[in-house]
Amino acid sequence: MTENFILSFIPERMKQLGYTSYHIRYRDIAVLPNSNIIVPAYNELWFAVDNPVGIRIESGYGVYDTTGSDTFFENKHEHRGEILITNPDTGLRRIKFIQAIIVN
């Protein structure tokens, strides 16, 4: 998903979920080699920007995986709830998100 698409999609998505008030943040996260990051995002939506390579993202909304370990027919760019970001590689990986924080 491109940044422009995500920013145009968020208002409609929030409306679909029944929310009217939210804040948007841009996140650029470094994931260390052979490590995981857990993000508690229960009142938030996180959208993976572009197509980060070598990263796996899991949440209640689905899986995004470009590590080559599994074959998925559809990568989910939208995530919510407990989000697990995994870098199974031996090098540092960066991933960019747009975070929509629900206020009401």
Domain boundaries, the chain: 3-102
Cα separation, 89 vs 78, whole angstroms:
23
On the CB side of 58, CA atoms within 13 Å amount to 9
Helix, coil or strand: residue 100: strand
pLDDT in tens for each of the 104 residues of the chain? 999 999 999 999 999 999 999 999 999 999 999 999 999 999 999 999 999 999 999 999 999 999 886 666 688 999 999 999 999 999 999 999 999 999 97
Cα separation, 33 vs 49, whole angstroms:
20
Residue 65 identity: D
Which CATH number is 3-102 given? Answer: 2.60.120
